[in-house]
């Protein structure tokens, strides 16, 4: 039996994730006590609608989240989502020395500076493993296990809803709308699913990943973002024809600053390294390990100087998987309280600047419908040359009166590639730009 006084926990929000947190806390109470070294006791649940039917102890429900935070609880678990009132509630909790566990990526991607400052001022823990890639242990490896290495790249599928939709479109030809409804029914989608399909959710996660991986402060506003709304059946067919598949990727990578860039920091010192943080659909080869990640599963590749390549894979969304990560954090902060310890602090010391997307090296796949006559290829190739974009592969297929031309480029700046596509689209010999998509995960 434990001799330490109970660790009192208050839950804010009781929706998809909150309900599962209550279930796990209840079902595993004895094990949690043994693992923490003290009983972990849920003392209140703040909800918006107390009379709604939920499978949780009704006597714990309250609509007064502030009062719960002001009570003698040790840990606040926040699964409300969104910026306000979550931000004010968590700042109040941290300032009064309560440990905080949150799954709220939108909040962390915008207000981590304030939250970490409040956590530092009082010495209270701030844990958020559930905020990125659901159940998958990813943030703790970045913050702790890899803290002695130099991470160079983090690339992955971090949004379950969009991966569920793209997988459905690729495998069964299911429609976008049908699969989105199903993802919402299964508890994967955000309260407002446009956060998923427009890439905001993945961009928040990319900001959190880049901040931790590169010890820099990156907010959601710094992340280049494209969602999946523009991914068409033609894009998916074009990818399939080339042995590729389309995924919404979050990519965070170090980019060396070349001689031409000549960038300087505000204090005049030359910048030698920057980071690219971006979310967009991309074609990846079917042979790439991320290509086999389907449904609401997430997977994240991490590359580090000494460790080499690692991949983290598992359930990235849904009530129970997300609650697993919340409970893991809850055990960690409870243990810290029992042993008077503290989790890792934020380390934004490297302060690497985020590179504008236009200056980021990317590669494009371009599929064109062109007139089938002599000289077309040379006209198209001339536009690439004019923009200093080098072509890695070309495939041309003729038909009766028109032909298709598929081009994959070598890396060039995104701005040069965009200008190239714009100019090609205006050539009289080009009937239609059928598909344009970035290419990741292969060397040519």
Ligand X SMILES: N[C@@H](CC=O)C(=O)O
Ligand Y SMILES: NC(=O)C1=CN([C@@H]2O[C@H](COP(=O)(O)OP(=O)(O)OC[C@H]3O[C@@H](n4cnc5c(N)ncnc54)[C@H](O)[C@@H]3O)[C@@H](O)[C@H]2O)C=CC1
Residues in contact with ligand Y by CB under 6 A are 12-18, 46-48, 65, 79-81, 85, 103-105, 130, 134, 187-188, 190-191, 317-318, 322
346: DSSP letter:
P
Torsion of CA 96, 101, 106, 108, to 10 degrees: 60
Q: Is 148 exposed, middle or buried (0-12, 13-18, 19+ CB in 10 A)?
A: exposed
52 is catalytic: no
Q: Which residue, 39 or 187, has its beta carbon nearer to ligand X?
A: 187
Q: Which is nearer to ligand X, 319 or 343 (CB)?
A: 319
Contacted entry of ligand X, Na ion, ligand Y, none for residue 161, CB cut-off 5 to 8 Å set by kind? ligand X
**19 assigned binding-site residue:** yes
Smallest distance from ligand Y to CB 2, Å = 30
Catalytic residue among 205, 240, 247, 286: 205
Whether the CB-CB separation of 297 and 304 falls below 8 Å is answered with no
Residue 48 site contact among Na ion, ligand Y, ligand X, none (CB < 5 to 8 Å, cut-off depends on kind): ligand Y
One character per residue 295-334, x = contact with Na ion (rule: CB under 5 A): ------------------------------x---------
Q: Pick from 104, 159, 216, 276: which binds ligand X (CB under 6 A)?
A: 159
Distance CA 267, CA 282 (A): 37
Alpha carbons 263 and 184: distance in angstroms, whole number: 45
Provide the H-helix boundaries in 172-199: 176-185, 194-197
* CA distance linking residue 305 with residue 301, whole number of Å: 14
Would you say 17 is a known binding-site residue? yes
CA distances from 198 to 44, 105, 113, 311, 341 (A): 35, 15, 25, 25, 40
Per-residue binder mask for ligand X (CB under 6 A), 169-208, x = binder: -------------------xxx-----x----x-------
Determine, following the binding rule CB under 5 A, whether residue 133 of this chain makes contact with Na ion: yes
3-class DSSP assignment, residue 151: strand
Judged by CB under 6 A, which stretch of 139-147, 159-167, 219-227, 276-284 contacts ligand X? 159-167
Residues identified as active-site: 205
Kindly list the residues in this chain that would bind Na ion in the complex (CB under 5 A). 129, 133, 136, 138, 325
């Amino acid at each position: 039996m434990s001799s330490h006084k109970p660790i009192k926990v208050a839950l804010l929000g009781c929706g998809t994730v909150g309900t599962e947190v209550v279930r796990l806390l209840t079902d595993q109470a004895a094990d949690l006590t043994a693992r923490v070294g003290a009983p972990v006791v849920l003392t209140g649940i703040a909800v918006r609608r107390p009379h709604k039917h939920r499978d949780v102890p009704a006597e714990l429900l309250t609509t007064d989240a502030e009062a719960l935070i002001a009570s003698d609880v040790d840990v606040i678990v926040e699964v409300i989502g969104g910026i306000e009132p979550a931000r004010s509630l968590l700042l109040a909790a941290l300032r009064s020395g309560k440990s905080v566990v949150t799954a709220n990526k939108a909040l962390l991607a915008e207000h981590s500076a304030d939250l970490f400052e409040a956590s530092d001022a009082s010495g209270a823990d701030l844990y958020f493993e559930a905020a990125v890639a659901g159940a998958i242990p990813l943030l703790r490896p970045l913050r702790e296990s890899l803290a002695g290495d130099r991470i160079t790249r983090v690339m992955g599928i971090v949004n379950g809803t969009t991966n569920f939709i793209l997988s459905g479109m690729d495998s069964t030809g299911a429609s976008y709308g049908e699969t989105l409804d199903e993802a919402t029914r299964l508890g994967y989608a955000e309260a407002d699913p446009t956060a998923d399909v427009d890439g905001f959710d993945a961009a928040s996660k990319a900001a959190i990943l880049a901040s931790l991986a590169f010890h820099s402060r990156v907010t959601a506003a710094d992340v280049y973002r494209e969602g999946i709304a523009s991914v068409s059946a033609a894009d998916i067919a074009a990818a399939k024809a080339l042995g590729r598949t389309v995924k919404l990727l979050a990519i965070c990578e170090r980019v060396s600053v070349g001689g031409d860039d000549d960038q300087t920091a505000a204090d005049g010192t030359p910048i030698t390294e920057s980071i690219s943080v971006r979310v967009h659909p991309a074609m990846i080869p079917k042979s790439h390990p991320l290509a086999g990640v389907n449904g609401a599963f997430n997977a994240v590749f991490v590359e580090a100087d000494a460790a080499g390549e690692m991949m983290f894979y598992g359930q990235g969304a849904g009530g129970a998987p997300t609650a697993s990560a919340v409970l893991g954090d809850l055990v960690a902060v409870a243990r810290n309280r029992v042993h008077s310890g503290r989790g890792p602090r934020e380390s934004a010391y490297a302060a690497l600047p985020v590179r504008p997307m236009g200056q980021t090296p990317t590669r494009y796949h371009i599929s064109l419908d062109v007139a089938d006559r002599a000289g077309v290829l040379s006209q198209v190739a001339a536009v690439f040359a004019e923009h200093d974009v080098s072509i890695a592969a070309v495939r041309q297929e003729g038909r009766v009166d028109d032909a298709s031309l598929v081009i994959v480029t070598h890396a060039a700046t995104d701005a040069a590639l965009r200008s190239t596509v714009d100019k090609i689209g205006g050539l009289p010999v080009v009937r239609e730009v059928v598909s344009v998509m970035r290419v990741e995960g292969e060397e040519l």
